[in-house]
Structure 1
Amino acid sequence: MKDRPNFSSATLRTIALAVLLWTAISMLGALQTYSDNLRGGIDSHYPALLATWFLEYAVPLIVLSAGLSLALSRWPALTERPRHVFALFLGLVLVFQPAQWTWMAWMRGYLDIASLGDVWQLLRKMLLVGWFSATGTFAAVLALHTWRRARERELAWQRSQTDMLHLRLALEEQRMLALRAQLEPHFLFN
């Protein structure tokens, strides 16, 4: 039987929140584009703009949000040291960012590359398109994970304090029972 990863409800909530957030951002972006098109006299359809916004922007960032959330919940040690966080960010820059640019270029029909100059032009077009949103998403997911881990540690500390107080209370009760057992025979025979 295969080991199935144990996804906590907090991780699943994070993924659902990412989907909802990026869907809402896509809706607002499509609405802004639709408004700009109407003001410019360009005929456009909101559902088509929404589909474009969702597919070009939201899908890659949902994948980033969900993937990073799942990785951090499965391997919490990835955030324990600054060099691990830097390695995660380097992975974002070297793996996710080019994949996102390629996805967006493919969605826009920009992948007709005939020369190295075309590659350079494509990179210049795509450089800032997803950089800020991907970096912001990385920072937000990392901050949420760090906050969640700190909260879990605080709750564990509170539970340990409560357990310690219960043990102290039980010890004091045992001492009182022992003292009572020592005193009762004296009152019976005197």
Structure 2
Amino acid sequence: MENARPDTPVLNQVPPLTAISLLKLLLSNIVVWTSLCAIGALGNYGDLVKYGTTQRSFSEILWFWVSSHLLMMVFSTCLYLIFMRYERFLSKAKGIALAYAIMLLGFLPLEVMYIAILDLLKDKPGFGLQDIVSTAFNMRNFTIFLEFAWSTGTFIAVLAICTWRQARVRERALQQSMNDVLHLRLDLEQQRLDALRGQLEPHFIFNCLNAISALVRSDDKRIALTGLNRLSDLLRYALTASSRDWVSLEAEMTFIRDYLELQRLRYGARLQISITGDTADVLTVDCPPLLLQPLLENALRHDLDCHEGSSDIRMQFKLDGKELSIKVSNSVTDGTAANPGLGLGLPQTRARLELMYAGRASMHSGRIQDEGQQRYEVEIRMPLLMPESATT
């Protein structure tokens, strides 16, 4: 069994930021902020036109907006990178509150001083640090509130984008992990099915060879040669069909009749079997290959092999809505010695049904009373449609 795939993503791991993704981030940031500044500048210019006071051109107003938000552009980019690098800020409310407090104490004063520098550049070309601090402290409350609102809005927007991005990454990682688990389960189921097939073929061949050996011991060479020819046909079908997941019930029944002919060479007139319900609609149903042979073999082993009389084996097919019922039963003779055999047929059949139909098929076996007679019956119920997980 292979180990888990090495490229399976960790659910909480965000992919590292490459040079290309960083360039895309910067360009996206510039486009978003330039668009916002253009909208704001367009509104200001429209007001000036409306009131007839167009002393400044649109390009001058746009540059004022862009220059006023340059530091905000840098802040939003850095904030995005920090959130992507330190995911713990986004995992808990305390982390988000701490990041917001650091923003208020660290970035907001810088933004206010930056706006003060822009004001001084317009009115006073030569200025020092004392002029910057004085202008910042004397700034109007509305201007400070406006910068606070811009900073808070930027923080919330970046937080929302990062949270959404990490949620998408986790969702994709979870989906990939679920796909990997599903593929692993399918691989394991296929290995189990292959193992069952590997057991089924030798088991079938072993029982057919037992039938041939019984013919050889009868000293009738002609019957033995006929049995060998029939065995060749049976093995050809078994090897071909066992490499497939599904065969038609018609092909399976042809194989079953050939198998019974081989057994009839051995048991002669003692082999009595009744097959009913194998109509045209039933024969078009698909089923796993070599599904019915173990049921008949089980009936023969617990019937003809346990006494010297004739058998009373019945095989019945019945469509019940969207299910097909298959029953194989044999009479039970009290006082006869049990034939233990290998005990592989029925357990293997039940396991194959479970794998092929993903729990939608069932097999039940046990003694029943039929018209006052003790019988041993095996019943299989399986859907007419293949399960979605089945492969052809």
TM-score, reference length from structure 2: 0.43
**Residues 117, 17 of structure 1: CA spacing in aligned structure 2 closer, same or farther, 3 A cutoff?**
closer
Equivalent residue number for residue 17 of structure 2: 7
Aligned AA for 1:130?
Answer: E
Report the CA distance between 1:184 and its aligned residue. Answer: 0.8
> Does the residue aligned with 1:91 lie in a helix, a strand or coil?
helix
Separation in 2, partners of 1:11, 1:144: 15
Where do residues 73-88 of structure 1 align in structure 2 (5 Å cutoff)? Answer: 73-88=84-99
Separation in 1, partners of 2:22, 2:109: 26
Separation in 2, partners of 1:50, 1:125: 21
Asked if the contact 2:33/2:73 (under 8 Å) is kept, the reply is yes
Say yes or no: does 1:24 pair with 2:35.
yes
Report the CA distance between 1:120 and its aligned residue. Answer: 4.1
Report the CA distance between 1:124 and its aligned residue. Answer: 2.3
Q: 1:139 aligns with which of 156, 181, 196?
A: 156
Aligned AA for 1:7?
Answer: L
Report the CA distance between 1:37 and its aligned residue. Answer: 2.4
Separation in 1, partners of 2:174, 2:134: 58
Aligned AA for 2:107?
Answer: F
12-21 vs 118-127, which moves further: 118-127
Structure 1 stretches of 5 or more lacking a match? 1-5
**Residues 119, 75 of structure 1: CA spacing in aligned structure 2 closer, same or farther, 3 A cutoff?**
closer
Separation in 1, partners of 2:112, 2:45: 23
Q: Which has the higher strand share?
A: 2
Equivalent residue number for residue 167 of structure 1: 184
Where do residues 105-120 of structure 1 align in structure 2 (5 Å cutoff)? Answer: 105-109=116-120, 120=137
Separation in 2, partners of 1:12, 1:73: 15
> Does the residue aligned with 1:130 lie in a helix, a strand or coil?
helix
Report the CA distance between 1:187 and its aligned residue. Answer: 2.0
State which structure, 1 or 2, has the greater radius of gyration over its C-alpha atoms. 2
Q: How many residues align?
A: 183
Query: Percent of aligned positions with the same letter in both sequences?
Result: 32
Where do residues 91-106 of structure 1 align in structure 2 (5 Å cutoff)? Answer: 91-106=102-117
Separation in 2, partners of 1:153, 1:30: 39
Q: 2:77 aligns with which of 53, 66, 75?
A: 66
Say yes or no: does 1:155 pair with 2:168.
no
**Residues 186, 99 of structure 1: CA spacing in aligned structure 2 closer, same or farther, 3 A cutoff?**
same
Tell me the alpha carbon deviations over residues 85-132 of structure 1, each in whole angstroms, 9 at most, x when there is no partner: 111101111111111111111101289767x98654326253212111
> Does the residue aligned with 2:17 lie in a helix, a strand or coil?
coil
Structure 2 stretches of 5 or more lacking a match? 1-15, 209-392
Equivalent residue number for residue 48 of structure 1: 60
Asked if the contact 1:30/1:46 (under 8 Å) is kept, the reply is yes
Separation in 1, partners of 2:135, 2:88: 41
Asked if the contact 1:69/1:141 (under 8 Å) is kept, the reply is yes
Equivalent residue number for residue 121 of structure 1: 138
Asked if the contact 1:11/1:69 (under 8 Å) is kept, the reply is no
Equivalent residue number for residue 188 of structure 1: 205
Report the CA distance between 1:61 and its aligned residue. Answer: 1.7
Q: Which has the higher helix share?
A: 1
**Residues 84, 12 of structure 1: CA spacing in aligned structure 2 closer, same or farther, 3 A cutoff?**
farther
